[in-house]
Amino acid sequence: MLQFLFKRLLQAAIVMLIISLLSFSIKDKLGDPLREMTGMSVSTAEREMLRKKMGLNDPFLVQYGRFVKKALHGDLGTSYFHKLPTMTVILKKLPATLELTFAATLIIIFTSIPLGVMAAIKPNHWFSKLIMAFSIIGISIPVFVTALALIYVFSVKLGWMPSFGRGETVHLFGYWDTNFLSKDGIMHIIMPAIALSSIMVPLFIRLVRAEMLEELSSEYVKFARAKGLSRTKVYFKHALKNTMLPVITVGGVQIGIMVAYTILTESVFQWPGMGFMFLEAVNRSDIPLIVAYIMFVGFLFVLVNTLVDLLYGIINPTVNLLGKGQ
Amino acid sequence: MSLLRIDHLNIEFPNRYGTKLAVNDVSLSIEPGEILGLVGESGAGKSTIGNGIVQLLSQPGRVSGGDVYLNGELISDFDDEAIRKVRGSRIGFIFQDPMTSLNPLFTVEDQLIETIQNCLGLSAEKAKQRAIELLEKVGIADPEIRIKQYPHQFSGGMRQRVVIAIALAGEPELIIADEPTTALDVSVQDQILQLIKDLCINMNVGCMLVTHDMGVIANVTDRVAVLYRGRLVEIGSTKQVLTAPKHEYTKSLISAVPIVSKRLDRFPLVEYIEAEEKGLKHIDVSTHWIGQIKKHNTTGDLLTIKYLNLSFITRDAFFKKNRRSIQATKNVTFTIKEGESFGLVGESGSGKSTIARMVAGLQQPDSGSIIFDGTELINNPDRDAVAEAHLQIQMIFQNPYSSLNSRMKINDIIAEPILFHGLAKKSDVSGIVGDLLDHVGLGRKTGLKYPHEFSGGQRQRISIARALACRPRLLICDEPTSALDVSVQAQILNLLKDLQDELGLTMLFISHDLPVIRQMCDRIAIMKKGEVLELAENKEFFEHPQNPYTRELLELMPRFEQYGQ
C-alpha cells in the first residue's frame, strides 16, 4: 500500500512538473504582465527598473524555478482582475463545480449501469434496441446543444425549471455552499447536471453493455448457472462485479474530463464554478488565473485517478495493492 | 431404473447457413455409482450433450428432440425455473478449466456457501460448517483458513478440488464432469480422477465424464460411449470398447493414441478421420531450395547448453531483501546432437518452455551459455553471427490459434521470413511458398486463405511451413500438439518425423505428454522446478527410469494400454 502510494506520488509529481512547465510557458509567452499592472503614466525607464526588480529579464529556467518554488508553497500568483491570490479565487469557485460534477456522476451511475446491463442481458428486447439507438444519438450531440435544448423546453416553453445560476444555497462548515440541501438548489442543479452527463451516459451505457456481454460469455458465469443460481444472482452478483472493473478504470479518466467539460455547461447555465471562471479569465486575459486553473485541474486529474486505482485494488483481490502476503 | 436415461436426443444449432445438428439421435444411460466416459474429438458433440441435459446450451442451440429422464422423471420438458432447481441440487457440474470456472472476485467461502444455501436452504452458520466439511472431503488442508481465500490464491489442482466441492455442495445424484483434468498436470490429474472415482463409489453418485483423453477413459470409467460428428457410434464396457472396438471410427481413434510401452516408427494411418489432400506436388528435397542449407562446422553437437540460469521476480519491492523470485531454470546443462530428437518433459512450471524461449533468443538468461554450431548465443559481441544462428533455429508454438496473424494471408505469413532475411530471389518466393504448402500437406491453393478458415491441425501445418521457410537446422517444438485432437496429433507428429528424415532436422521437442515423447524422441531430459533430474536414451528412460520423480510420473500417467492391445 505504502509502496503503491509512494509510486503514485512520484508519478503525480512528474505529471505536475510537466503541467507546470506547460502552463508557465503560456504565462511566459502570453502578454506582458507589466502592461496589466502599471498605468499609462509610468515611463519606459521606470518600467525597465520594475521589470528588473520582478526578475522578468532573468533566463526562462530561472523564472520557471522561481515559479515552481512559489507553487510548492501554494502560491500560484495573484489574479489581475480579482486582485486576490489565484488559489483563493479557485477554491471559492470549487464547491460549485464539484457539486455539479458529483450530480452528473450520480446521474451517470444510476442510468448507465441499469440500462447497460439491460441491453446486455436482453439484447433482442425492443427496449434494449431503443437504448442502443439513443446512445448513438446521445454520443453525437454536443453538450452545449443539449444544454440549450433543455433551457428552451423546460425553462422557456414550459417554465418548470430555472434556467441559470445556482439558486438558493446552504452554507456549510463556514466554507462550502451546497445545492443539495434546499429545494431551490436542487431544482437549479438538475438541468446543468443532465447536460453535463449527457455525453458520458451513452458512452458508459455502451461500455457497461460491452463488458457485461463479455462477462456473460465467461466460464464462471456458466458455472454459476450450472450451480443452480437464479439469473438475478448470476447477473447482478457474479457478472456485474466483474463488469465494474474496467468501467471503474475508464470512469476515473472520464470524471477528470468531465471537470473540463464544465466549461461549456457552466457558461450556458451561468453556473458560478471554475469553468465559468476560467472562461471569464480568458476573456479578461487574466493570465495568472488561467495558469492556476490549468495547474489545479491537472492536480484534480491525478488525484481522482489515484483514488480510482485504490478503489480498483479494493474490489479486485488479484491486484495486491495492499501488499498482503499470499 | 437408470439414474439418467437419454432417449434419441437431438440438439441443433441454427445458423445463417441452415441448421447444424450437433447431437444426432443419441441414447445412453447411467446407473448410480457408475462412471460413463463420453469420448470423441473436438466438435463431436460430447460437451453439448452434457450442457443439453441441464439446458445450459449456448445460444442459439436448442434441444430439438428426444427425452432426458433423471431417476425416471422427464427433465427435458422442465421450464426455466424447474430445471434451475435440478442444476446444482440434482446434477452437479465440473468444468474443464478451474482457472476460469471460479469467479475471481469472490472468496471460496462465498461461492461455496451461496451454492449450499441455494440448493439445500441451510442457515448461514450451518452452510459454512458444511462448506468446511466439503473442502475437507475433497482434500484441501486447513479448510478453515483456505475457505477465506480467493481463487487466485489456489493452485490449478486445488482450484479444481474447490470446483468439485461446489459441484458436490447440493448433494447431487449425478455429476457431469466436462474435461475435468485436461488443464492439469499428470500428477494432479491422477489425484483429481481418483477423487472423482472415490466420491462416485462412496456417495453412490453417477458420473458422466466427458473427455478426449483415451488414457483417462481407460483409467477411471466403467463404460464408454464414443461419439463421432454428433452420432453415438459405439457404447459398451470400457474393456470391450478399448480392446475389441466394433466401429471403424473407434478402431482408428484407438490406433492414433500414442502408447508408452513400445516405440513405433510411424503412427498408424487414421484414414477414417481425415483423409490427406491428394495430388500434391512432391518436391525433391536434395535439389530443392528447402534442402540447400548452408552447413558449416558440423562437429556432431549442434546445440550445447551450459549452466543456464534464469529467475523471474514474482514480487517486486524497493528493497532487495523483500523481493521474491522464482528460479525458472537452475544450472541446466545438456547437448543436442545433429539430427537427433531431443525431448524435454516436465509438468507446468518446470521451466521447459523457458529453455525453448532462451534457445530461440526470446528471453535472455541471467547466466550460462548456449552454443549453437560453435556460435555462442549469449552476450556475444558478434551480433551478425548470433542473428545467423537464430535464423537456423525456428520454433513451432503450442497454440495454433494465436500464433498466426489473423489479418495476413497464408502466403504472406510463410513468405515473410524468406523476404525479411532475403533468403531467396523475390521472383522465386511464391513458388517456394507453394512448394512448402504442398510439402506440409495443405496444397498451394490454400495460400490465398486467412488463418481462421483452417482447423487447428491445418494451422499447425502452416506454422510448420512457416518455420521451414527459414531453412532451419534446429526446430523447437513447444507442445506442438497439445491443443489438437488425437487423430490430428498423429498426423502432425508423422509429418514432423517425415520432415526430420528428409531434411536432417534436429529437434528440441517439448511436451508434458509422456506417450508423445516416447514416440518422438531419441533422448529425453526430465525437468522439475527448473532442474534437469534425469537425461537418458528413450528406451532407458521409459523402461528403466533412474530418478524417483521419473518413476512417479510414469506411474501416474493414465495408461491407455493397460487393457493390453
Radius of gyration from C-alpha coordinates of chain B: 26
Nearest to B115 among A217, A227, A326 (CB): A227
Per-position DSSP letters for B255-303, written without gaps between them: HHS--SSS--SSPPP-TTT-PPPPSPPP--TTTSGGG--------SEEE
Average pLDDT over residues B534-558: 88
CB-based contact, A325 to chain B, within 8 Å: no
Output the furthest CA–CA distance in chain B (Å, rounded): 79
Residue found by looking up cell 471503474 in the block: A248
Contacts of B250 (CB under 8 A, 6+ apart): B226, B233, B234, B241
**With 0-12 CB in 10 A as exposed, 13-18 as middle and 19+ as buried, what is A145?**
middle
Q: How far apart are CA B515 and CA B262, in angstroms?
A: 9
**Cβ atoms within 10 A of the Cβ of A95, count?**
20
Q: How far apart are CA B72 and CA B77, in angstroms?
A: 13
> Residue A188 in contact with residue A165, Cβ under 8 Å?
yes
Q: Which among B354, B352, B305, B369 has a CA at the least distance from the CA of B333? A: B305
| Cell numbers that stand for B217 in this block | 477413459
| Dihedral sign (CA A206, A207, A212, A218) | positive
The reported pTM is 0.77
Q: At what angle do helices A2-29 and A60-72 cross, to 10 degrees?
A: 130
The strand pair at B206-211 and B174-178 is best described as: parallel
**Cβ atoms within 10 A of the Cβ of B66, count?**
17
SS (H, E, C) B537-556: EHHHHHHCCCCHHHHHHHHH
In this predicted model, what pLDDT tens digit does every residue of A216-250 receive, in sequence order? 888 888 889 888 888 888 888 889 888 988 888 88
Three-state DSSP at B43 gives: coil
8 Å CB contact of A315 and B153: no
Nearest to A230 among B84, B92, B93 (CB): B84
> Residue B26 in contact with residue B235, Cβ under 8 Å?
no
How far apart are the two ends of chain B, measured CA to CA in Å? 34
User: Which carries the bigger pLDDT value, residue B547 or residue B563?
Assistant: B547
Nearest to A238 among B100, B103, B163 (CB): B103
| Mutation for B interface: A1, A211, A227, most B CBs within 10 A | A227
For residue A38, what pLDDT is reported? Answer: 64
Q: Could you please state the CATH topology (level 3) that the domain comprising A95-272 is classified under.
A: MetI-like fold (1.10.3720)
pLDDT higher than threshold 70 for residue B280: no
pLDDT higher than threshold 50 for residue B457: yes
In this predicted model, what pLDDT tens digit does every residue of A29-76 receive, in sequence order? 766 666 666 666 777 777 777 777 777 777 778 888 888 888 888 777
Q: How far apart are CA B122 and CA B124, in angstroms?
A: 6
pLDDT higher than threshold 90 for residue B57: no
CB-based contact, A234 to chain B, within 8 Å: no
| Cell numbers that stand for B249 in this block | 471410427
DSSP annotation of B87: B
Domain boundaries, chain A: 95-272
Name the residue of chain A whose CA is nearest to B314's CA. A326
> Residue A96 in contact with residue A273, Cβ under 8 Å?
yes
Q: How far apart are CA B39 and CA B37, in angstroms?
A: 6
For residue B316, what pLDDT is reported? Answer: 64
User: B-chain residues within 8 Å CB-CB of A222?
Assistant: 56, 95, 101
User: B-chain residues within 8 Å CB-CB of A316?
Assistant: 104-105
